[in-house]
Structure 1
């Protein structure tokens, strides 16, 4: 078994996200890991091991999983980001969820839920459902409340 002459560590990660402590072989991995191992840390690639520093476009999140949201960055993602950034301030309550986003001829419609009143237990929170209209920019041009319900209610759009 050949090992790396410089005593470098294996490029793979353990299940808890820490770097493998074993000494790397010439290919950059220990006897237990290899280039096809799902725990391989691609960001640690270098020319000596023959690993590529290029990625397939996926970004790694803090928990080590791949974040596919950056792959298909398009107008829908931009609209969602705009809604998330502005809904709470516009409506005056904390944003709980983006329920729907649909394209219209003249822009977009987004439906969000905000927490209008907190309660204990939280299943009794009062949620307001709001519809936001956005133009093609996307800038919010109009909003209105379309319903209210308790968080724990399973009925669609129950009015309080």
Structure 2
């Protein structure tokens, strides 16, 4: 392409495109919010089961996703809560969770959550410890193409304890 849209490619292969903030004046005085899943919905699971894939933008990532635990509908409630906070307070609840290299760091994000909300519930700690040794039948591939049977190793999640 001669003139591609401005973008940045991070080390893990994720592409972030430049967004445009000025779309001109509002068209009318009545705006209706619309919730959408952007075609990323996943099927519901039987009780006690959960998904393992890394979802959500970094700043909005739920604790169980950050830790590499199986997750379900509760991550949507987490996102809604953070979105409502941002809309009402006009500021992010969590600072940019980045390490010294400027890239997203799940450990920094987890530290921000703990400093604001306190220690995670015991049940979440047990789920995180279980997910350390859990092996899938088929390997998962991350955006770099690395394949692993342990989702935590595949997506580089944080740990509650060393």
What TM-score do the two structures reach when normalised by structure 2?
A: 0.20
| Structure showing greater Rg | 1
Higher helix content, 1 or 2: 2
What TM-score do the two structures reach when normalised by structure 1?
A: 0.20
